[in-house]
């Protein structure tokens, strides 16, 4: 879905619905006290973003959160390249907390919000 929506137009809501998410293990959802489809605030030491928490589609992977490639993930990843050109896109420690009243922004707005 991620790839199809990227090619279908990144300004469209379908791209936000496919990539503005975090996949979490059912147990982790339970621990957060939320259901599949609740918006959450994901924060790392590099930034924060509001995404929708969903039950892992390719899981289980306890303790791991997975946000697809896109501007939502890029607001929380580690930009440090450790002298080799590649930002650290994976393995970034994050905290997840429920934010049911916040909105998941589309791909253009998620940038505009912080520029």
Minimum CB distance to other proteins, residue 37 (Å): 20
Which CB, 69 or 100, lies closer to other proteins?
A: 69
Q: Does residue number 45 form part of the binding site for other proteins (CB under 8 A)?
A: no
Q: Does residue number 97 form part of the binding site for other proteins (CB under 8 A)?
A: no
Minimum CB distance to other proteins, residue 66 (Å): 7
Cβ–Cβ under 8 Å, residues 102 and 50? yes
Q: Does residue number 93 form part of the binding site for other proteins (CB under 8 A)?
A: no
Distance CA 55, CA 107 (A): 22
Q: Does residue number 30 form part of the binding site for other proteins (CB under 8 A)?
A: no
CA distances from 40 to 9, 18, 62, 86 (A): 25, 15, 17, 28
Cβ–Cβ under 8 Å, residues 105 and 8? no
Distance CA 64, CA 54 (A): 13
Q: Does residue number 60 form part of the binding site for other proteins (CB under 8 A)?
A: yes
> Bridge-partner residues for 81, per DSSP?
none
Distance CA 107, CA 12 (A): 8
Choosing from 13, 31, 35, 89, the residue that interacts with other proteins (CB under 8 A) is 89
Residues that bind other proteins (CB under 8 A): 2-4, 6-11, 46-47, 56, 58-61, 64, 66, 69-71, 74-75, 77-79, 81-91, 107-108, 110-112, 114-115
């Amino acid at each position: 879905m991620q790839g199809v929506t990227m090619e279908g137009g990144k300004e469209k809501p379908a791209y936000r619905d496919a990539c503005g998410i975090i996949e979490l293990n059912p147990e982790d959802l339970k621990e957060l006290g939320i259901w599949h489809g609740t918006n959450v605030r994901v924060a790392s030491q590099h930034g924060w973003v509001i995404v929708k928490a969903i039950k892992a589609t390719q899981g289980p992977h306890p303790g791991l959160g997975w946000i697809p490639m896109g501007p939502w993930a890029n607001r929380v990843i580690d930009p440090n390249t450790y002298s080799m050109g590649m930002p650290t896109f994976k393995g970034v420690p994050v905290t997840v907390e429920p934010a049911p009243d916040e909105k998941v922004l589309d791909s253009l707005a998620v940038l505009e919000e912080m520029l």
